[in-house]
Structure 1
Amino acid sequence: MAPYFETVKSFADVTVTDAGVDTLEFLQAADGVVALFDVLGSTAFTAVQSDIKGNIAKVRARYDAVPAQSATLEQLVESEKGEKKRPATEGLMWLLRGLSFTCKALQNAQANTSEELSVAFSKSYDASLKKFHNFVVKGIFAVAMKACPYRADFYAKLASDPAGGPPVPADKLNEELSKWLAALDSIVKRVEAFYEKGGHNKGF
């Protein structure tokens, strides 16, 4: 095992063309977010992690069923349009919301270096997922926010090499993380705008 950003696909390496966002590359990068919650190390985030994992599986199942029509996320959603049930469209919608929450939280952490992760994640939750959740789920997230690891511990884990190699220097880690987040933010906004324009988020 190498340090975190050397073991996952960066969103900065996901191909985005006029046709849309490459489905397989996006799913590989999204798998990296699942691994990120392992780095956070709190069992309180299990619900978030399993939700993201489940939605990745729904999108991947659609891709596996009709790969020729699912090369990009946009094509995949269009191919499901008109069907009675649209599990991949709904799954991707929720996946984007989960990724947006994670992205905003870490962008907050990057922008405010004196802020603890619990504050960064709480602000992100209020700005992203909270409006979609009922009382029970809000309670689960409130517990998760409080259980965030200390900022210094989290960044040290991101930089460390589990195999015992030297840790990644702080400036390189921040550069990689900022690049990863900027690309993720851009992809989420692009696909969310596509959903809005096409009315793909209706009916859920």
Structure 2
Amino acid sequence: MGQWLVESCVSEKFNACRRACGDSSVPAAELADAAIALISIFDLIKGMGIAKSDMMGNADVLKRQAEANPGASVQELIKKELEQADLKKLLKGHEFKDAPLDDKGKPVQNVCVSMLWLQRALIFICVLLETLQTEPKLKTAVDAGYAASIKQHHGFVVKGVFAAASNAAPSKEKFVGLLADEEEEAMSAITEMLPVVKEILNILGPFMKEIGAETGNYPPGYLCAA
């Protein structure tokens, strides 16, 4: 049996991020740390390696940008980018020559587009975990999380990849056993953590909508005013 909820320190990291948030700002370093912990949940779901890799890539961009700009908020980093390039260029993946480098020595992607996809990834996982509390199958929860978040932004081919991945999901019993020793313990921890993640998303959401980056439709309670 596993102890992912304990070993990942995911709840503690999101609580630390929330404490460091302002009324309209989210600390980049703390969010990157918390997001990386939460995304690691896909290590427990067979077939979700591609999804995890993409999400981790966006979280890593935020982490590297935060390290290069100590103490900066997500909002400050994106506003700085918008002073140098328009939104259209950023959303097409514009790279800044003075950006921190990735493991291959290339400038990392801009924060705006990485944050756009990262917040959708966090919604994916939150809805997955919410659904898991009442649904008997993990596959149903994975499908619900995907449909509520990223699916609307994917084309036919990528949707097919995700469909195949969800079909490979293990049983709910096996998955929950990797989260914590007892199902009650796992569900209790999830119930306590999700509102904190939502609060952070509801600080990010209005900002991303205000600058015109986020135009998707999400479940009630996400990417909206808290």
For the superposition of Structure 1 and Structure 2, which TM-score range results when normalised by the shorter chain? 0.7 to 0.9
For 1:47 and 1:115, locate their aligned partners in 2 and report how far apart those are by CA, in whole Å: 25
For 1:201 and 1:5, locate their aligned partners in 2 and report how far apart those are by CA, in whole Å: 30
For 2:64 and 2:40, locate their aligned partners in 1 and report how far apart those are by CA, in whole Å: 20
For 1:142 and 1:170, locate their aligned partners in 2 and report how far apart those are by CA, in whole Å: 26
Aligned length: 187
Alignment match of 1:108 (pick from 131, 135, 153): 131
Alignment match of 2:61 (pick from 47, 58, 62): 58
For 2:149 and 2:54, locate their aligned partners in 1 and report how far apart those are by CA, in whole Å: 15
> What fraction of aligned residue pairs are identical, expressed as a percent?
26
1:117-152 deviation digits (Å, cap 9, x = unpaired): 111111222222111001110011001111111001
1:123 corresponds to which residue?
144
Alignment match of 1:24 (pick from 29, 34, 45): 29
For 2:178 and 2:69, locate their aligned partners in 1 and report how far apart those are by CA, in whole Å: 39
| SS of 2:33 mapped into structure 1 | helix
For 2:174 and 2:127, locate their aligned partners in 1 and report how far apart those are by CA, in whole Å: 19
The question of whether the paired residues in 1 share the 8 Å contact of 2:55 and 2:121 is answered with: yes
Greater relative contact order, per chain length (Cα 8 Å cut-off, separation 6+): 1
1:186 corresponds to which residue?
199
Q: How does the TM-score come out when normalised to structure 1?
A: 0.83
1:19-58 deviation digits (Å, cap 9, x = unpaired): 5122212111111123211122x0x211110011110121
- Decide which moves more: 28-37 or 94-103: 28-37
Query: As a proportion of its length, which structure holds more helix?
Result: 1
Q: Say whether residues 1:13 and 2:26 are aligned partners.
A: no
| Backbone CA RMSD of aligned residues | 2.0
For 1:131 and 1:170, locate their aligned partners in 2 and report how far apart those are by CA, in whole Å: 32
The question of whether the paired residues in 2 share the 8 Å contact of 1:116 and 1:150 is answered with: yes
1:146-201 deviation digits (Å, cap 9, x = unpaired): 11110011111111xxxxxxx3x433322211122221122223212210023244
Alignment match of 1:99 (pick from 101, 112, 122): 122
Q: Say whether residues 1:172 and 2:185 are aligned partners.
A: yes
| SS of 1:199 mapped into structure 2 | coil
1:73-118 deviation digits (Å, cap 9, x = unpaired): 22222222122336111001101111111111111111x1x42011
For 2:10 and 2:178, locate their aligned partners in 1 and report how far apart those are by CA, in whole Å: 18
| SS of 1:17 mapped into structure 2 | coil
Letter in 1 for 2:204: V
The question of whether the paired residues in 2 share the 8 Å contact of 1:12 and 1:179 is answered with: no
For 1:135 and 1:170, locate their aligned partners in 2 and report how far apart those are by CA, in whole Å: 36
| SS of 1:27 mapped into structure 2 | helix
Letter in 2 for 1:54: G
| SS of 1:21 mapped into structure 2 | coil
Q: For structure 2, list consecutive stretches of 5 or more residues without a partner in the other structure.
A: 86-93, 96-109, 216-226
